[in-house]
């Protein structure tokens, strides 16, 4: 969960601050099995808004989220988190199983 602050000003009244919780969207409730190549870097979407899941397409701009870089050390299939709730971002840790 991310918190953002909005400053609202009404004429002579003092600035009013309000915190709003922003959660990542959940593109899917399972991981993305994705082949990666050794020595390449990948940018995992953390906001859930990308149309190129599981990777960033720039849709996060202005959301407070930023992509998470993944450096592949070997060529293999990686399981990128699809629910955006993993504590081991960008990889799946099974947290999706707790989502209703």
Q: Could you list the residues that contact ligand FES (CB under 6 A)?
A: 30-31, 81-83, 85-86, 92-96
Smallest gap from residue 95 Cβ to ligand FES (A) = 4
Whichever of 50 and 85 has its CB closer to ligand FES, that residue is 85
Gap between the Cα atoms of 83 and 39, Å rounded: 26
Whichever of 60 and 96 has its CB closer to ligand FES, that residue is 96
| Residue from 67, 63, 98, 65 nearest 80 by CA | 67
CB 5 within 8 A of CB 19: yes
Whichever of 68 and 95 has its CB closer to ligand FES, that residue is 95
């Amino acid at each position: 969960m991310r918190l953002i602050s909005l400053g609202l000003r009404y004429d002579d009244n003092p600035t009013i601050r309000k915190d709003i919780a922003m959660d990542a969207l959940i593109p899917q409730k399972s991981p993305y099995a994705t082949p990666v190549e050794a020595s390449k870097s990948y940018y995992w979407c953390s906001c859930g808004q990308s149309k190129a899941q599981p990777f960033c397409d720039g849709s996060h701009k202005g959301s407070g989220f930023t992509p998470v870089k993944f450096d592949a050390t070997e060529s293999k299939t990686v399981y990128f988190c699809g629910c955006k709730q993993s504590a081991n971002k960008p990889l799946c840790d099974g947290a999706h199983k707790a989502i209703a």
